[in-house]
C-alpha cells in the first residue's frame, strides 16, 4: 500500500460517533456523496466542504467512542480521509475502520507533534508517520486482522476467503 500524504485536521479527546455521523442521519443519509457531506457536521462544520483527498484526521484519546454505527468510519472514507492518527481508538471504531479499509495509526507522539494544516505522510507498510518534527514508528495491526485490511476491507476479504472472487 502506497504511503498517504495529506493535510491535518486536528481534534481533541473522545470524538464520538454522534458528532462524526449524527444518529438522526443513520437511516436517511445513505449515499456515499451525501454521507461525505455530513461527516463531522456537529464537530467542525468547516471539515466537509474543505476536506481534500488523503487528508488525515489527528485526534486525542478514544476516537470514535459511542455508537457501533459503521458510518462513523465509512463517512470519513467517502469524504476522502486517507488515515486517522489518534492517541487511542474506541473498540467499535477500530473494528469498523479496519473493515472499511481505513488506515488507523495509534501514536501519542505523532498526535502531539501535529497541528491543524500540517502536512503528514502515513506509511502503513513501514509503520511510520512523517511530520515536520520527525518520523514516528507505530505498532503494526494484529497479524490476524492484517489480511482484512490488505484485501481492502471485510467484504472483499470475505469474498476472497469464500472463493467468490
Partner 1 sequence: MSGQTFSQKILGAKAGKAVVPGEIVDVIPDVAMSHDNTAAIARTFATIGVDRLYDPDMHVIVLDHCAPAANEKFATNHQEIRAFVEAQGIESFYDVASGVCHQILVEQGFALPGRLIVGSDSHTTSYGALGAFSTGIGRSEMAVIMATGKIWLRVPETMRIDCDGRFAAGVYPKDLILKIIGDIGADGALYRAVEFDGPAIADMSVSGRLTLCNMTIEMGGKNGYVHPDQKTLDFLNGRARENFETVTSDPDAEYIERLRYDVSGLEPQIARPHTVDNVCDVSEVAGTRIDQVVIGSCTNGRLDDLHQAAAILEGREVKNGVRCLILPASSDVTRAATQDGTMLKLIDAGCLILNANCGPCMGNHEGALAPGEKALSSANRNFKGRMGCKEAEIFLGSPASCAAAAITGEICDVREIASPEALAAGLEA
Task: Show the CA angle centred on residue 150, arms to residues 146 and 152, nearest 5°.
Answer: 125
3-state secondary structure at position 37: helix
Where b means 16+ CB within 10 Å and e means fewer, 149-162 reads: bebebbeebeeeee
Q: Exactly one of 68, 133, 137, 140 binds partner 1 (CB under 8 A); which one? A: 68
For partner 1, the closer CB: 27 or 117: 27
Considering only the stretches 47-55, 83-91, 111-119, 121-129, report the one whose residues sit in contact with partner 1 under the rule CB under 8 A.
Answer: 83-91
Site string for partner 1, 41-60 (x = CB under 8 A): xxx-----------------
User: Does the footprint of partner 1 cover residue 22 (CB under 8 A)?
Assistant: yes
30 near partner 1, rule: CB under 8 A: yes
Specify the 3-state DSSP secondary structure of 163: coil
The pattern of x and - marking residues 94 through 123 that bind partner 1 according to CB under 8 A reads: -xx--xx-----------------------
Residue 28 cell numbers, joined: 436517511
Q: What strand order describes the sheet that includes 83-86?
A: 104-106, 83-86, 56-59, 4-10, 119-123, 128-131, 134-137
Task: Note the residues at the interface with partner 1 (CB under 8 A).
Answer: 13-14, 16-19, 22-24, 26-28, 30, 41-43, 61-62, 65-70, 73, 88, 90-92, 95-96, 99-100, 142, 144-145, 153-155, 158-159, 161-162, 164
Amino acid at each position: 500500500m502506497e504511503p498517504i500524504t495529506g493535510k491535518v485536521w486536528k481534534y481533541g479527546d473522545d470524538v464520538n460517533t454522534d458528532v462524526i455521523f449524527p444518529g438522526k442521519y443513520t437511516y436517511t443519509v445513505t449515499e456515499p456523496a451525501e454521507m461525505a457531506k455530513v461527516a463531522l457536521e456537529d464537530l467542525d462544520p468547516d471539515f466537509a466542504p474543505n476536506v481534500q483527498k488523503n487528508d488525515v484526521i489527528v485526534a486525542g484519546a478514544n476516537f470514535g467512542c459511542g455508537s457501533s454505527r459503521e458510518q462513523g468510519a465509512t463517512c470519513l472514507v467517502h469524504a476522502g480521509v486517507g488515515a486517522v492518527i489518534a492517541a487511542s481508538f474506541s473498540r467499535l471504531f477500530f473494528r469498523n475502520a479496519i473493515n472499511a479499509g481505513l488506515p488507523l495509526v495509534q501514536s501519542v507522539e505523532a498526535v502531539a507533534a501535529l497541528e491543524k494544516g500540517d502536512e503528514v505522510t502515513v506509511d502503513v507498510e513501514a509503520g511510520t508517520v512523517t511530520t515536520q518534527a520527525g518520523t514516528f514508528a507505530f505498532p503494526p495491526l494484529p497479524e490476524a486482522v492484517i489480511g482484512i485490511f490488505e484485501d481492502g476491507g471485510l467484504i472483499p476479504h470475505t469474498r476472497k476467503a469464500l472463493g467468490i472472487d
